[in-house]
Amino acid sequence: MFRAWFHNVKSARISDQQEIMRIRLIAFDCDGVMFDTEVANKLYYNEILHYMHKPDLTESQFAYVYMHTADEAIDHLFPDKDEAVKANEYRLSMPYLPFLQKMEIEPYLKPLIDRLRPEYHTAIATNRTNTIHPVLKAHHLEGYFDLVVSALDVPRPKPYPDPLIKILTHFQIEPEQMLYIGDSKLDQIASEAAGVILAAYKNPALDARFHITSLREIEPILTAS
């Protein structure tokens, strides 16, 4: 009985190791993974709400806008279509620099990517739209990623798998060769639909292959034996 159990555990470990060794690409979500953007996002949407003479975000509103695209967030905050149009017009006219300055980069992000490349491809799959490239430029991250996929680059944003599938197609790799680091339920749903391996970042509630609390934990995962 013990021998049979030991053999099963050993086989599982070998299988896990083989799975990890197949990984060729590391992809990142932006908000909540690459950056702590809670303060920046609250200020951003509260600015729009104030312009529209509305109160600050509620906790439930923030939970929604934090994960979804800006267009989806505006539609959620302003069910009235005329108000949504006006709010979107203001959003697109707002300078983004003040909010960029409130974003806090994950301390180990740059060192991790420096150590991953060139052995691994790197990519971003985010529900940000026109703000992702200014974010990368402001934090001197241009050139750190082989591919950046925003909500503007696919027919459907997360939770649909389209951003992850676009990455897989671009690099011509199989789903199990991609590790995606995400922090939300949308990331979990998209990963499951695309068949890629998910590392849940600071969210133990997600159903994921790995759970991490720092990007420092990615290297040990990739070098596990």
In this structure, the answer to whether residues 90 and 137 fall within a common structural domain is no
Single pTM value for the model: 0.85
- Look at residue 223 and give its three-state secondary structure: coil
**87/92 Cα distance (integer angstroms):** 9
In this structure, the answer to whether residues 44 and 139 fall within a common structural domain is no
User: Cβ atoms within 10 A of the Cβ of 168, count?
Assistant: 21
Number of domains in the chain: 2
pLDDT grade for 10, boundaries at 50, 70 and 90: very low
| Interval 97-109: pLDDT, tens | 889 889 999 999 9
- In DSSP notation, 74-97 reads HHHH--SHHHHHHHHHHHHHS--H
Q: Does residue 206 surpass a pLDDT of 80?
A: yes
In this structure, the answer to whether residues 154 and 201 fall within a common structural domain is yes
Containing domain of residue 89, as a range?
Answer: 38-100
Distances (CA, A) of 53 to 34, 40, 48, 58: 32, 20, 9, 15
In this structure, the answer to whether residues 111 and 18 fall within a common structural domain is yes
Q: Which of 80, 100, 120 is the last residue of a domain?
A: 100
Question: To the nearest whole number, what is the mean pLDDT of the chain?
Answer: 91
Residue 6 lies in a domain: no
| Interval 173-193: pLDDT, tens | 999 999 999 999 999 999 999
The pLDDT score that the predictor gives to residue 13 is: 43
In this structure, the answer to whether residues 205 and 130 fall within a common structural domain is yes
Residue 147 lies in a domain: yes
